[in-house]
Structure formats: C-alpha cells, structure tokens
Structure 1
Amino acid sequence: MSGHEPWAQALPPSLSHSELMLFQHLVESETGIHLSMAKNALVANRLSRRLRELGLDSFAAYYTYVTSGGNEAEKVRMLDSLCTHETSFFRESRHFDLLRDHVFPEWVAQGAQGRRPRSLRVWSAGCSTGEEPYSLAMALLESFPQDSGWHLEIVATDLSTWAVRRAEEGLWNLERSRTIPPLLLRKYMLRGVRSQEGLMMAGPEVRQLLRFARANLHDPATWPVGKFDIIFCRNVLIYFGAEARVRVIQGLLQRLPETGYFFLGHAESLIGITAAARSVSANVYTPRPGPAEPSRE
C-alpha cells in the first residue's frame, strides 16, 4: 500500500555532522556568524525548503550548488534563511530612557550654545525587520522636532535582504504596537483600515529620517560611509565567533567620535574585548580619548 509514501517524501533529509561543518565554515567565513553543532536541527529546518524547491536530495548537494561559481544570489538567499530576526519596538527600553533623559538633552544644549553641529547620524547595525530604527526615529523626533533646525539621519542595515525589505516597507501587525509608548504610537504610527485592518504603518515623519541597505558586518566594504553619533549593534555579535566579534567591535568604535555612543545588547559586553571604550551605563559605551580625529565635514 502506498498511502504513506507522500508523508515519507515530505520529511526533510537529515543533516550529517560533516554537512553541518561545511555550512558552519561557509557561514562563518562569509559573515562571522558561528553555527555551533547544537544548531543542527535549526540549519536543517531552515534550509530544507530550498532543497525541495531545487529538487536536491542532500544538504551536501545544496552546499555544492551554493558554492558553485556565479551563484552569489543563492548564497545570499541561504544566509537570509539562517538569520535570526527576533526584535521588538523599544526593546531594552532603558537604552531609550538614557537617550531621552541624558544624551539628547545634553546635545540639544550643546547645539544651542554652538558647541556641536546641529546634526545627528545614527546607525542601526542589525536592524532586522525595522522595529529598532523606527523606535530610534520616534525617540529622535521627540527631542529634535522637525522645526528645531536639526538634521537627523538614521541608517539601518542588516545582513538579510528579506529583513531589509520588510523594514523599508514599515508595515507590521498591530499587535507589534504593544511596546510602543501610547503617546508615540498615536503621534507617529498610522492604523490600517479596510484592506489593511489589523496592521499599522510608520508615518511620514519617521520614514523621512530612515535609509535602508544590506550590509555584512563581517565585510567593512559593505558598511555605510562616514562617522555616526550613535551606533546600535544589539543582540547581533552574540552570534559571531570570537575573532570576528573583536574585529567588528574595533571597526564600529572607529566610526564614532569621542562624544559618540555605542549600544550593545543585554547579553553583550566589551569586557576583555577592547580597552578602546569606556562604559557609561549597562551595555553602553563611548570611545576613549585618543589621537585627534579628522573632521567629519
């Protein structure tokens, strides 16, 4: 009797130890992300769909397909599949409290006194589906309104092309709004009606601050150019191997002036990684004074 055959055929192929090691090396060399051996089930689950779509019968065959010459698009698609996209609006709210209560008021005062340019650049490095950079946009506009004479720019990047497209779209299920302060929700988000019932969209004020792009933190050639006053790189580097983590952190700190701020996630720290930054709050750092830097102009 063949009634059980479709079910058997639907089962994904198993991912052997040697196959996982192939993908482990490939992903780490391309992105700095380290896939531990405990990720076997996750890798198998996330890649099995592509095997079915391509008609391949093993992960080794898929690895050969991905790494064959001229197949860069499939490699990007594979990396998209393996990226983690956990995020929320105003995640780790104490970071936004620090900006609102201490950092932004100081910069407003310095701008009024002519002690700093009336411009701010922020980089959300690892923006996922956009909740973080849109949260930053709302926070900025509360302290630096459109008519305040400040120029604001947020560059949001992610390794995943899929996540960048979703972030740029600026559209979420309404249930995602639960972590947005009610005042900011009413002020900066639009509620969907009719065909978009149950959805919310970022309003034009926050959208105009944002610029999105794909960037690989493991490859500085893909990074946005110039210096930033704030860099958020939260809950990203925990997935990196030790050497790649050190290299990325050193590179990111060089993109900040001495007055800039570097934000990590709650499980991340610079202890034992670099002496080039000092802690100002939990998981928040500023570069240590060093040789004079060239002008940002």
Structure 2
Amino acid sequence: MIQDALSKLPSGEPEFPSSPSELPDRVFQGYQRLIYREAGIYLAPTKKALLVGRLSRRLRELGGPSFGTYLRQVEEDAEERLRLLDAICTHETRFFREARHFEFLEQEVLPRWRAQGHPGSGARRVRAWSAGCSTGEEAFSLAMVLRLHLPAEEGWQIEIVATDLSTRILDRARQMLWPVERAQEIPTRYLKAFMLRGTGSQEGWMKAGPELRPLVRFQRLNLNDERYPTLGRFDLLFCRNVFIYFDAASKGRALDRLVDHLSPRGFLFVGHAESLGGLTQRVRLVQSTIYAPGLAG
C-alpha cells in the first residue's frame, strides 16, 4: 500500500527536490502506484525527472510541501488528485496528425457510406469519438472531414464526442480557439471552408466556424474506468498515442471497453507507434494502425 511505503520514508527527505536524484525512490514508487491505479498510466522509473518537472509548479503554488507530503494530500483529496493527473498527462497534438488516417476516411470510408446512405434509411448519421482529445485539434480535424464529405444539406447528421482525462485541457478545448500559426497544419480546402481568422482582441487566433461548433461535444472521461456509461456506439473511434502510456494489462482492459463502443461498421484508429497485436481477438487489422470489428486473422 502507498501509505505503508510512506510510513517508511527516510527522515531526510528533501522538502523540495531540485533534481530527480533528490526524490526518494519510495516516494516515487508511491506516485507510480497512485497514477497507475487512478489512470492506468505506467510511470516507468526513467520518468522520475518528468514527475519532478510536472509537479514542481503545483508544489510551489501550495507553498513548497515535500513530494511525500503532497502524495499524502492527493490520497485524501479527490480534487487535488485531478490536478495531479492533469499535470502528469502529455497533451501533444496537432490538426490532421497522421494524415493517412484522414486520407483513408476520404478515399475509402466516406465515399462508401455516402453511396450506401439514402433518405429515410437511418444510415445518414455518423458518430465519432476522439479519445484523449487534448485541446481539440483531432476532434475538429474529424469534424472538417465529415462535414465536407457528408453535407448537412443531404441530410447527414454528425456527432463527435471528444474526451480527455484532464479537466484543465478540456476547458481550453471548449474555447475552440487556436493560435493562427496552427493553420499551416490544415489542408487549404478545409481551412478556407471551416476556420475563421480572429480580429481585434482575437488577433493572432483562429476559431472553428459555426458549421463545426455544434458537431463536437467535450466531456471528461478516464479510460481506466471500469465502464464508459452513456456514450453509445461509434462509427469512428480515434484513440491515438494514448496506449503508449499504458502497460499491457491496463491497455488490454481499456481496449476491450473501447471495442464495446465500436459499431459493426466502425473503424478504430490507433497511433503510428501502437499495435493491438496480442491484446484482443475482437478486431481485425484493415491496414497499419486501422482496425475494424471482427475476428483477428
């Protein structure tokens, strides 16, 4: 237990480590256990510097308690545990990241769905999930592709659920506002059709246009939870560069729950450095990092 480990801390623990080497191993192991238990994220021993760097600012805000004292605090304070997890999570993202995933949608999936859909069939509704959405670039990349290829005037309904563990990062995502420099990540036809350049007080920023904003709904979700209630099933499920922070056990559990929410016609997208091999037999490989429901071959 974490509390057992803490009771054995050496009395000479630095009040505020200035380097990873000053953080006692027993305290670091306490954080390892807590973060794994709460989020399924495995913090390898090599990540001690990351932990010190990510938590130092919060500890200064609290007046400089020791890392051991702060660990005791987050064990007892659910709100502070959320701040800890917010600090630990990495939020690297960009528009149209891993472009071939969007090319697969444009060239293979959406033309077929559009050909199959017809008024009154109920097939003109598409649901997508951006899991680990960070500041929203992935969700709005999806929104642009889906809206352009499945137009509202043809009766297509689009819903995108964007989830993340971090409440702080979700607050940013809900603003639907990004530095204008990020425009270079967006293909020209999507940029011109859907993004607005800020003026006046919003000079230097761009915002999602009115056609996109109603399509995306943000909510907090922990992929380590035992179930994901109220989400329903999705035709497109993007969970990219999330599993790299999990060990095999937590990855397998989360993957099983994700597949529960994948529609029979759906596709699951993972990151370029991720593979589902050996984790489940419930999906088959369509092409590298893209999976569909069905028995693995």
**Quick check: TM above 0.5?**
yes
2:159 is the counterpart of 1:153: yes
Which residue in the other structure is 2:12 paired with? none
Q: Report deviation, 1:289.
A: 6.2
Which residue in the other structure is 2:87 paired with? 81
Which residue in the other structure is 2:3 paired with? none
Contact 1:86 1:128 in 2 (8 A): yes
Q: TM-score, normalised by structure 2?
A: 0.90
2:141 is the counterpart of 1:135: yes
How many residue pairs get aligned? The number is 280
Which residue in the other structure is 2:29 paired with? 21
Q: Which amino acid aligns with 1:219?
A: D
Which residue in the other structure is 1:180 paired with? 186
Pairs within 5 Å for 1:184-199: 184-199=190-205
2:155 is the counterpart of 1:110: no
Q: Which amino acid aligns with 2:71?
A: Y
**Structure 2: gaps spanning 5 or more residues:** 1-14
Pairs within 5 Å for 1:32-43: 32-43=40-51
Output the CA distance in 2 between the equivalents of 1:230 and 1:264: 11
CA deviation profile, 1:141-163 (whole Å, cap 9, x unmatched): 11111211011100000001111
The verdict on how the C-alpha distance between 1:258 and 1:10 changes in structure 2, with shifts beyond 3 A counting, is closer
Output the CA distance in 1 between the equivalents of 2:245 and 2:237: 18
Q: Report deviation, 1:112.
A: 2.5
Q: Report deviation, 1:12.
A: 3.6
CA deviation profile, 1:213-234 (whole Å, cap 9, x unmatched): 0000000445542111110000
What SS does the corresponding residue of 2:59 show, helix, strand or coil? helix
What SS does the corresponding residue of 2:262 show, helix, strand or coil? coil
Output the CA distance in 2 between the equivalents of 1:245 and 1:251: 10
2:140 is the counterpart of 1:120: no
Q: Which amino acid aligns with 2:32?
A: Q
| 1:164 aligned residue (161, 165, 170) | 170
How much identity, in percent, do the aligned residues show? 49
Contact 2:96 2:186 in 1 (8 A): yes
Which residue in the other structure is 1:59 paired with? 67
Pairs within 5 Å for 1:269-280: 269-280=275-286
Output the CA distance in 1 between the equivalents of 2:75 and 2:155: 50
CA deviation profile, 1:156-195 (whole Å, cap 9, x unmatched): 0000111111111111111111110011111111101122
Q: Report deviation, 1:116.
A: 5.9
**Structure 1: gaps spanning 5 or more residues:** 1-8, 291-297
What SS does the corresponding residue of 2:274 show, helix, strand or coil? coil
Q: TM-score, normalised by structure 1?
A: 0.90
Q: Which amino acid aligns with 1:38?
A: T
Q: Which amino acid aligns with 1:65?
A: Q
Q: Report deviation, 1:10.
A: 9.1
CA deviation profile, 1:256-281 (whole Å, cap 9, x unmatched): 12211000000111111111111111
What SS does the corresponding residue of 1:49 show, helix, strand or coil? helix
